[in-house]
């Protein structure tokens, strides 16, 4: 653990306070620059840094740690008058903040939470089936930590769960993790996309049908509930099922049985039910498209998968996770993402959430011909959208203004080294020089 504070007395106090805790090997630094030097020489699982320091403040130190070591947990120390800045730090990727003067009880509580989080991630490797491994739910944001913690509790029960969240936020992965860590892990996990089933076929798909139940039913057929016997059925987009099917599903939840379409035999079912929706079901209840009694049956415990724009500190981790995934799948020797490309990824709003990010990294790996993902390898929609954001920041809606903002940003990130900036932008050095001349971009003195 590294503690960073420009006041030597606080550094001494911190070392003494944790001297009896064998879980931590504490190192201290009295400036951001010294902290970076220490982090270059060794690694730290946790960094605790004061926010207000001369030369390099805690916010700048946080940004540099996030770029060089995204897996490191960073806690921000701040006075009462600086809590708004601490909130900004959390949005920039800090795990949390602690008020000064140090309350060691509160600090130990935060450190315990971080250690529990790290333990959850380590335990993920114990799950036997890789497609259900916990690390597929990548995240170190506080909202994701809460999800991980709840998964651990829910896996030990048979409680019905409702997962809320926008499309692409990983609702199915959460359901899979609950199943994979529970007592039903060796039984089937059956996913049903309710939105993809027509009103005429959904009952047959879920509950099966008897021979002659309808035109084309030439033989008895089991449904998804029977296929999931002893395991878990995941009803994705539960808000899209018709009222008639809602009645049959309510019976399963209340009585634990159902009848096949066209049949009279009652079939007992032993299946855990996990549901997910991207709709506001309370509004659906008001407009009579969703039954209130069913809602209360499926909403015994609810989780909300956060959108990616609300946990942007996880983007570097996720981007590298998907880079490694698609690098192995394609056999390409792509080893990293340039700072300029990563900046574009971090600035994007991701309306398609994690699924959109995964598709973006797959696209980038496919088109990358070198060892590093550059802005030129990202989909045009990402590059254009974010260049537009830069131009609005400069109060200039022109394409030239957007291009100038992007080039200036990359140059600054490369300390105005033209060859490195050109490589990051995916253009020749001469082309970059010509664009700088045309757009009037000069290195500040």
| pLDDT tens figures, 266-282 | 999 999 999 999 999 99
Tell how far CA 197 is from the center of its chain. Answer: 28
Is 60 exceeded by the pLDDT of residue 430? yes
**CATH number for the domain whose boundaries are 2-121:** 3.40.50.2300
Residues 176 and 234: their CA atoms lie apart, in Å, by 8
d(CA 11, CA 29): 8
Mean pLDDT, rounded, for 178-191: 93
The share of the chain scoring above pLDDT 90, in percent, equals: 42
* pLDDT the model gives residue 393: 40
Of 19, 50, 13, 17, the C-alpha closest to 34 is: 50
Domain 309-439 has CATH 3.30.360.10: no
Task: Report pLDDT digits (tens) over 241-264.
Answer: 999 999 999 999 999 999 999 988
Q: How far apart are CA 205 and CA 225, in angstroms?
A: 9
Q: Reduced to 3 states, what is the DSSP secondary structure of residue 372? A: strand
Q: Is 156 exposed, middle or buried (0-12, 13-18, 19+ CB in 10 A)?
A: exposed
Per-residue pLDDT tens for 390-406? 433 433 434 566 677 77
130-304: CATH number? 3.40.50.300
| pLDDT of residue 131 exceeding 70 | no
Q: How do residues 282-322 score in pLDDT, each as one tens digit? A: 999 999 999 999 999 999 999 999 999 888 888 888 998 89
Mean pLDDT, residues 371-398 taken together: 64
What φ, ψ does residue 303 adopt, rounded to 5°? -125, 150
pLDDT of residue 366: 94
The residues, ordered by sequence, that sit 6+ positions from 87 with a Cβ below 8 Å of its Cβ are: 97
pLDDT in tens, 321-369: 899 999 999 999 998 998 888 888 988 889 999 999 999 999 999 999 9
Q: 130-304: same fold as 2-121?
A: yes
Domain ranges, ordered by start, for the chain: 2-121, 130-304, 309-439
């Amino acid at each position: 653990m590294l503690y960073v504070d420009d006041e030597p007395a606080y550094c001494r106090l911190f070392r003494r306070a944790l001297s009896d805790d064998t879980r931590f090997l504490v190192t201290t630094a009295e400036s951001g620059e010294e902290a970076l030097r220490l982090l270059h020489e060794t690694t730290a699982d946790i960094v605790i840094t004061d926010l207000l320091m001369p030369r390099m403040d805690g916010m700048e130190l946080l940004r540099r740690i996030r770029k060089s070591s995204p897996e490191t947990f960073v806690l921000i120390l701040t006075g009462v008058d600086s809590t708004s800045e601490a909130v900004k730090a959390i949005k920039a990727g800090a795990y949390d903040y602690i008020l000064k003067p140090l309350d060691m009880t509160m600090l130990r509580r935060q450190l315990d939470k971080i250690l529990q989080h790290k333990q959850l991630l380590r335990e993920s490797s114990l799950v036997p089936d890789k497609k259900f491994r916990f690390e597929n739910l990548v995240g170190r944001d506080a909202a994701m930590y809460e999800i991980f913690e709840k998964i651990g509790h829910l896996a030990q029960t048979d409680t019905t769960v409702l997962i809320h969240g926008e499309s692409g936020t990983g609702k199915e992965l959460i359901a899979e993790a609950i199943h994979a860590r529970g007592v039903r892990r060796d039984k089937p996990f059956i996913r049903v996309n309710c939105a993809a089933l027509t009103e005429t076929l959904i009952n047959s798909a879920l509950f099966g049908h008897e021979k002659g139940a309808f035109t084309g039913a030439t033989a008895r057929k089991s449904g998804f509930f029977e296929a999931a016997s002893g395991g878990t059925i995941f009803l994705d987009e539960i808000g899209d099922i018709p009222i008639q099917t809602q009645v049959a599903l309510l019976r399963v939840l209340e009585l634990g049985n159902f009848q096949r379409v066209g049949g009279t035999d009652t079939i007992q079912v032993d299946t855990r039910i996990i549901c997910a929706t991207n709709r506001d079901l309370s509004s659906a209840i008001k407009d009579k498209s969703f039954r209130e009694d069913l809602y209360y049956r499926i909403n015994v415990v609810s989780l909300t998968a956060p959108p990616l724009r609300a946990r942007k500190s996880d983007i570097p981790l996720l981007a590298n996770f998907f880079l490694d995934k698609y690098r192995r799948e394609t056999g390409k020797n792509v080893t990293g993402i340039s700072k300029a490309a990563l900046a574009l990824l971090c600035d994007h709003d991701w309306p398609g959430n994690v699924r959109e990010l995964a598709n973006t990294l797959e696209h980038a790996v496919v088109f990358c011909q070198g060892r590093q993902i550059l802005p030129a390898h990202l989909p045009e929609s990402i590059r254009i959208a974010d260049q537009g954001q830069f131009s609005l920041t400069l109060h200039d809606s022109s394409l030239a203004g957007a291009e100038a903002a992007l080039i200036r940003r990359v140059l600054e990130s490369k300390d105005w080294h033209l060859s490195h900036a050109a490589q990051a932008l995916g253009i020749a050095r001469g082309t970059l020089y010509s664009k700088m001349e045309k757009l009037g971009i000069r290195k500040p003195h």
